[in-house]
Structure 1
């Protein structure tokens, strides 16, 4: 997904949340509703989150340099994590506290219809913002031939999945506020307004923890989409001079920045020029299907030596596709041939 599309999603959410926050706080001040105040805090925090993510996009877009040779893409995940903590600390904490105060000291809601009107308008605006984010996800799902839910679950761009999480939680909170305020007025039970605020806080906390978990996994070096590895193995499997693909490792250095490392066992008499040509063709093939793959490093190394190298660093060798290779290498002298071709796309 392009940075332009992600930025468009953020600006749509930012505009919606800023306007909604103002309306909610005005409604809360006019009617004295605790649930409406919590919703105002919710929208205010979401507005701040979008600002942080926009800053994160700018910070992560810095070009690679000597101190960060793979770029600054991982910083976007850090800012996504900060956003999650902001939702939890500011949104959930304040909403639950506000609700507890209202439960302990309930006060009747004045002119509840004002809150109802604001909530209905907010539902329309939040729904529109969510629709923009889901449109981007739908485009990605179509490209990858996956379902919407699976695409959201696997998405590596916090500027997209964070907005989906936030707007979904916002709609849930709005419906909870609408129901809670309505029941508080109809049943003449002001304390329900406070309990509704607590429910909104719980929704925020759950959203924050889910978002934090996603960003934590990504910022600590998550592998790329398994489809990339599967397709790469398929391409390499059709290359005659390659006897065995020892290992394929991938890692995200940002939403659209994937590093691919490959160890392959080439036929012993393969010329260096042939290896270089094969590597270039493989890189072009995998990048044509997966533009997010920016760097590909392919090492020519015997399967036997690759096993030894992994054991030396305390890792378990990956399961080989053909078990008879273990026997083939016992009585043969294979040495590592570190012929490597690397490419970088600006």
Structure 2
């Protein structure tokens, strides 16, 4: 995904979360709803997350220097991991604690109408932000036939899919909060509002755990997609100068920054000049086909 598309999604989500967060806290103060307070905390955490993602994007765009000869593309993966940790600790943890406290001292919400109005407005804004995020994500999706969630699973750009996952979780959280407020008002039992707060915390914990697993793989060093690796292998082995080659070794330093290492066995009868020409030819073809491959290291040696 392009950096520009990622930033559009993040700015849209940030604007929605700031406005919604303020409304939720006002609604929680007036109504006394625990679920509303948890949703307010959720919006604050999401807003902070957007700031961290923007910072990670900015840092990842820093070019190579003497201290970081391969650039700082993986900073995006680090800050994305911090986002997942914040969702777990602040979003999930605080919401669960708030819900447990409400169970211990239950109070009926004083004005549920305010909660309904805030939740309805929040759903509209969150839905708009999610629509923008999905639209920007689909603009650059390499395989148009691939479903959204499958595309997210194979994506190497956390700045795009984290926003989509956050907004989706926010809409589910709003539904849970609405059910909690409605059940408390209908039955006259405020315990449902507290349970909704705990459920929101559980939802955020599950989301955070999934994001931690995904971003951990990127931070440790995931290879390029199978399609990319197979394409590179085909390019190498189809060259007339190549007799054999090992599977390509790839490593993502960023969503659009792949390092490639190749161990190629050239035909025995080739001269040094012919091998050099073949290396240049292979590199040119790979770069022309896969613009995300920024660095190529080729070792001309026996595969054995």
Q: Give the TM bin, normalised by the shorter chain.
A: over 0.9
The equivalent residue for 2:231 is 231
The equivalent residue for 1:159 is: 159
Gaps of 5+ in 1: 305-346
Aligned partner of 1:88 in structure 2 is: 88
C-alpha distance in structure 2 between counterparts of 1:9 and 1:267, whole Å: 50
- Could you say what secondary structure the match of 2:246 adopts? strand
> 1:216 deviation in Å?
0.8
Q: Report what 1:124 is aligned to.
A: 124
For the Cα contact (< 8 Å) 1:141–1:147, is it kept in 2? no
Query: 1:210 maps to what in 2?
Result: 210
Q: Return the alpha-carbon distance in structure 1 between the equivalents of residues 301 and 41 of structure 2.
A: 57
Counterpart-to-counterpart distance in 1, 2:108 and 2:144: 52
- Report what 1:240 is aligned to: 240
Match of 1:58 in 2: 58
Q: Give the TM-score normalised by structure 1.
A: 0.85
Cα distance change, pair 144–226 in 1 and its aligned pair in 2 (3 A): farther
Deviates more, 1:157-166 or 1:189-198: 157-166
- Preserved contact between residue 74 and residue 254 of structure 1 (Cα < 8 Å): yes
In 2, the alpha carbon distance for the partners of 1:287 and 1:166 equals: 34
Contact 2:259 2:295 in 1 (8 A): yes
Tell me the distance in 2 between the aligned counterparts of 1:127 and 1:7. 18
Answer 1 or 2: higher relative contact order, Cα 8 Å, separation at least 6: 2
1:161 deviation in Å?
1.2
After TM superposition, give the deviation of residue 287 of structure 1 in Å. 2.6
Give the distance between the partners of 2:265 and 2:144, measured in 1 at CA. 30
Offset of 1:169 from its aligned partner? 0.9
The alpha carbon displacement at 1:132 in A equals 1.4
Q: What is the CA–CA distance in structure 2 between the aligned matches of 1:261 and 1:142, rounded to whole Å?
A: 23
1:147 and 1:291, CA in 2 relative to 1: closer, same or farther beyond 3 A?
farther
Q: Give the structure 2 partner of residue 100 of structure 1.
A: 100
- Partner deviation per Cα, 1:130-182 (whole Å, 9 max, x = no partner): 11111122223355653322211011111111111111111110011111111
Where do residues 131-170 of structure 1 align in structure 2 (5 Å cutoff)?
131-143=131-143, 146-170=146-170
- Deviation at residue 15 of structure 1 after TM alignment: 0.5
More moved, 242-251 vs 266-275: 266-275
Partner of 2:181: 181
Q: Report how far residue 284 of structure 1 moved.
A: 2.8
1:2 — aligned with what? 2
RMSD, aligned CA: 1.3
Q: Give the match for residue 76 of structure 1.
A: 76
Residue 281 of structure 2 is aligned to residue 281 of structure 1: yes
Q: CA deviation at 1:224?
A: 1.1
User: What SS does the aligned partner of 1:107 have?
Assistant: coil
1:47-69 per-residue CA deviation (whole Å, 9 max, x = no partner) reads: 00000111111122111112211
TM-score by length of 2: 0.96
User: What residue in structure 2 maps to residue 331 of structure 1?
Assistant: none
Q: Does structure 2 retain, via aligned residues, the 8 Å contact 1:221–1:251?
A: yes
Deviation sequence 1:19-71 (CA, Å, 0-9, x none): 00000000000100000000000000000000011111112211111221110
1:130 partner SS: helix
1:39 aligned partner: 39
Larger Rg: 1
1:8-27 matches, within 5 Å, as: 8-27=8-27
User: How far 1:279 moved relative to its partner?
Assistant: 2.5
2:259 maps to 259
- Any stretches of 5+ residues in structure 2 without a counterpart? none
Secondary structure, aligned partner of 2:263: strand
Count of aligned positions: 304
